[in-house]
Amino acid sequence: MLQKVVRSTVIDAPIARVWEVLRDFNRHDQWHDVVEQSRIEGGERSDQVGCVRSFTLKDGNHIREQLLTLSDTEYKSTYCIVEATVPLQRYVATVTLKPVTDGDRTFWHWESSFATPPGMERELSDMVAQAVYEAGFENLRRHLRSAGAARGAVVPAAPAGLPMPTREVRVHRYGGPEQLEPAHGEAPAPGPGEVRIQQRAIGVNFIDIYLRRGWVPGMLALPGVPGMEAAGRVIDVGDGVGGLLPGDRVAYLWHQAGAYTTVRTVPADQVVRLPAAVEDITAAALLLKGLTADVLLRDLGRIQRGTRLLVHAAAGGVGLLLCAWARRMGATVMGTVSSEEKARVAREHGCEHAIVTHDYRFADAVRRIAGGADVIVDGLGDAARDENMAALALRGHWISLGQASGPLAPLDPDGLLGKSASFSRPVVFHYVVSPRERAERAQRVWDALADGTLKMPVVERFTLDAAAQAHARLESRATIGPLVLLV
Ligand SMILES: NC(=O)c1ccc[n+]([C@@H]2O[C@H](COP(=O)([O-])OP(=O)(O)OC[C@H]3O[C@@H](n4cnc5c(N)ncnc54)[C@H](OP(=O)(O)O)[C@@H]3O)[C@@H](O)[C@H]2O)c1
């Protein structure tokens, strides 16, 4: 007769956090005391249905178990013993998690059925119930607590409810890079729905320059701290924040400037958790720019095989990502760059036709190469205005992304008539409104990096205090790829 063991508990952590640990079929040796050592056979992934984990217990027993089902939507996995030195026969177990909305906790249900040799029913049922399940609940609780502490070991202790001192870079007067000055500030304790982050790497974007120059005063009141994105570790979280705990590695982009600082408090819904494979510097270099590329290629450019795409500043932070991704989507990728060196790097990242021009003349080359551009991604602004119109193909779409050369003068809609052209002026923040959308887009960027669609560009690094130098370099058109400030 089959024995059945059922145990359940509530874990004081968000479901995403508990599931992150449990869904990994090879991680039990890190959190369950009874497991000595575990490995997945045949080099398969530890979340691959069908994979077999082979592990030894502290008492010397050896077990091989196979993952039968894994559902990230139902938070459920099933597995069975295929071979064991313990006399558990036909053992099939199921782990199911459910969210407990009160306090953002997790209900964990663990059950199994198995046969035993006659006379051993009681002994083996007790062993599974106590030594495996009940002990497992306690072990996982301890693991989550210590994982939080260990992750937070490099994070300063947060004075509960109090602000923390920061080192930041401020703009006191709109103007050149010299207006960026290091200063001391404070990061408030996180309020409801907020999270306080010890920042490690801060992305530098061309918009930071517009803000510093005073071109968008509504986004940077003086004195103000520029910066739209950063990566680091959670220090503490406010009431009502689910899915984030102290010590978690995260990154954010937010339409409110203020990222040029060591510690920042931001709304938790602007934050994405970082996979282990994505380092802080990678996240700061690629999050805003990668999400922008995702929006441009998928939502606006609707890039398909054969789309003739023109990317300006093709060797820039956004430019390199656009070239590589669009090429993988099958587009014919043309790009403008201002030097042979930039052309070389742009080509390495998928720009088939690099057009070297320092004075915004490219339309002839585009017509020669492809007969025109179906989509133009334009971060140059006014200096390229007429050439963009000339380079557009019939029914082409001019996406005005930015204005590195100066603000675009107002357009006459009738100017688009001659080619039935369309024009759009997107802002990435409007395309990452919900946490889900933000997380999905970020995941696409990390996936593209992992599968080689995007090649990690060389990242130019500065200290936070050297933000002025970073801005001067970016404005001088000298940089290739992304820039970050390191804390
Ligand atoms: N709307 C949005 O949501 C959004 C989001 C992200 C980025 N953007 C825009 O996308 C563009 C690229 O941003 P990024 O941060 O990746 O910068 P970036 O491309 O790394 O740097 C800007 C590049 O623009 C080119 N450029 C041409 N004329 C310039 C001038 N007069 N001064 C400075 N640079 C000039 C330079 O490349 P060459 O020397 O090769 O010409 C320079 O390297 C920017 O316009 C930015 O505002 C917009």
Task: Give pLDDT tens digits for 72-90.
Answer: 888 999 999 999 999 999 9
Is residue 205 in contact with ligand 1, taking CB distance under 6 Å? yes
CA 202 to chain centre: 13
* Ligand 1 lined by 477 (C-beta under 6 Å): yes
Question: Is ligand 1 within 6 A of the CB of residue 401?
Answer: yes
- The per-residue pLDDT for 146 is 64
Overall average pLDDT of the 35-62 stretch: 91
Structure tokens at 471: 């801005």
The ligand 1 atom nearest the CA atom of 426: 1
Whether the CB of 167 sits within 6 Å of ligand 1: no
List, for residues 120-153, the tens digit of each pLDDT value: 999 999 999 999 999 999 999 988 876 554 444 4
What are 228-253's pLDDT values in tens digits?
999 999 999 999 888 888 888 999 99
CB of 427 within 6 A of ligand 1: the answer is: yes
C-alpha distances in angstroms, 13 versus 7, 141, 160, 336?
18, 9, 19, 50
pLDDT, the chain, mean: 94
* Of 457, 459, 483, nearest in space to 469 by CA: 483
Examine residue 117 and say whether the peptide bond preceding it is cis (omega within 30 degrees of 0): no
What is the model's pLDDT at position 158? 67
pLDDT tens digit sequence for 93-119: 999 999 887 777 899 999 999 999 999
Confidence band for 16, pLDDT divided at 50, 70 and 90: confident
What number of other Cβ atoms are within 10 A of residue 472's Cβ?
16
Q: Where are the domains of the chain?
A: 3-153, 164-288+435-441, 305-425
Taking the CA of residue 483 as reference, the ligand 1 atom at the shortest distance is 20
Looking from the CA of residue 295, the nearest atom of ligand 1 is 3
**Pick from 432, 435, 431, 414: which is nearest to 423 by CA?**
414
Residue in the block written with tokens 């369950």: 32
Q: What is the torsional sign of CA 428, 430, 431, 432? A: positive
Whole-number Cα distances in Å, 143 to 12, 105, 303, 368: 12, 16, 45, 62
Distance CA 129, CA 111 (A): 9
Is 360's C-beta closer than 6 angstroms to any atom of ligand 1? no
Q: Average pLDDT in the 446-461 region?
A: 95
Q: What is the pLDDT of residue 153?
A: 44
Q: Which atom of ligand 1 is nearest to the CA of 339?
A: 40
Are 364 and 346 in contact by the 8 Å Cβ rule? The answer is: no
Looking at residue 15, what is its pLDDT?
Answer: 85
Q: Are strands 3-11 and 52-57 parallel, antiparallel or unpaired?
A: unpaired
Amino acid at 256: Q
Expressed in angstroms and rounded, the spacing between residue 216 Cα and the centre of ligand 1 is 16
Contact 379 CB / ligand 1 (< 6 Å): yes
- Other C-beta atoms within 10 Å of 482: how many? 28
CATH number for the region 3-153 comes to 3.30.530.20
Report in angstroms the alpha-carbon separations of 24 from 48, 62, 179, 281, 374: 9, 19, 49, 26, 45
144-193 pLDDT tens trace? 876 554 444 456 666 678 999 999 999 999 999 999 999 999 999 999 99
Q: Which atom of ligand 1 is nearest to the CA of 358?
A: 41
Residue 481 per-residue DSSP state: B
C-alpha distances out from residue 243 to 84, 106, 311, 435, 470, Å? 36, 11, 37, 12, 34
With a 6 Å cutoff on the Cβ, whether 292 touches ligand 1 is: yes
pLDDT over 70, % of the chain = 97
Following CA atoms 475, 476, 477, 479 in sequence, which dihedral angle do they give, to the nearest 10 degrees?
Answer: -90
Which residues partner with 375 through β-bridges? 309, 397
Residue owning tokens 């990061």: 187
Nearest CA to ligand 1 atom 11: 379
Q: How many angstroms separate the Cα of 38 from the Cα of each of 30, 31, 93, 209, 485?
A: 9, 12, 18, 51, 39
Mutational pocket test of ligand 1: of 205, 292, 321, 377, the residue with most ligand atoms within 8 Å of the beta carbon: 205
Mean pLDDT on 289-296 = 98
Of 54, 111, 57, give the one whose Cα is nearest residue 83.
54
Tell me if 337 CB under 6 Å of ligand 1: yes
Q: Fold for domain 164-288+435-441?
A: Quinone Oxidoreductase; Chain A, domain 1 (3.90.180)
Q: What is the pLDDT of residue 104?
A: 72
pLDDT tens by residue, 406-439: 999 999 999 999 999 999 999 999 999 999 999 9
Q: Rounded to the nearest whole angstrom, what is the distance from the C-alpha of residue 313 to the centroid of ligand 1?
A: 6
**pLDDT at position 243, please?**
81
Structural fold of domain 305-425? Rossmann fold (3.40.50)
DSSP code, position 316: B
What is the reported pLDDT for 373?
Answer: 98
**CA 36 to centroid of chain Cα atoms:** 33
How do residues 370-400 score in pLDDT, each as one tens digit? 999 999 999 999 999 999 999 999 999 999 9
Nearest to 370 by CA among 352, 385, 386: 352
* pLDDT over 90 percentage in the chain: 86
Residue with the smallest CA separation from ligand 1 atom 9 is 402
CB of 396 within 6 A of ligand 1: the answer is: no
